[in-house]
């Protein structure tokens, strides 16, 4: 699963608030429905900022660090 960007998480939050289905959200952001479903179930209720912070924390714990270019 490729990690989602902060913007994609914000779109997910917005579309969830508008009662879009997981499949409709996945089509909108061009991601797999399973990716969106997993993302939504990581944080309940879903908040983009919290989900992004959690993802960055998990990335850091796995040893994947941001690189400077």
d(CA 16, CA 10): 10
In a domain, 66, yes or no: no
Rounded-to-integer distance, Cα 9 and Cα 26, Å: 11
pLDDT tens column, 15-68 = 999 999 999 999 999 999 999 999 999 999 999 999 999 998 888 777 666 666
- Please state the pTM of the whole predicted model: 0.84
Contact call for residues 25 and 12 (beta carbons, < 8 A): yes
With respect to residue 15, please indicate whether it lies within any of the assigned structural domains: yes
Q: Is residue 23 a part of any domain in this protein?
A: yes
- Residue 17 belongs to some domain of the structure: yes
Q: What is the pLDDT of residue 1?
A: 47
Quickly list DSSP for 8-19.
HHHHHHHHHHTT
Task: Name the domain count of the chain.
Answer: 1
């Amino acid at each position: 699963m490729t990690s989602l960007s902060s913007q994609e998480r914000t779109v997910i939050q917005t579309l969830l608030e508008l009662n879009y289905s997981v499949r409709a959200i996945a089509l909108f952001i061009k991601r797999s429905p399973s990716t969106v479903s997993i993302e939504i179930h990581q944080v309940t209720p879903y908040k983009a900022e919290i989900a992004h912070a959690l993802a960055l924390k998990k990335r850091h714990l796995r040893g994947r660090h941001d690189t400077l270019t």
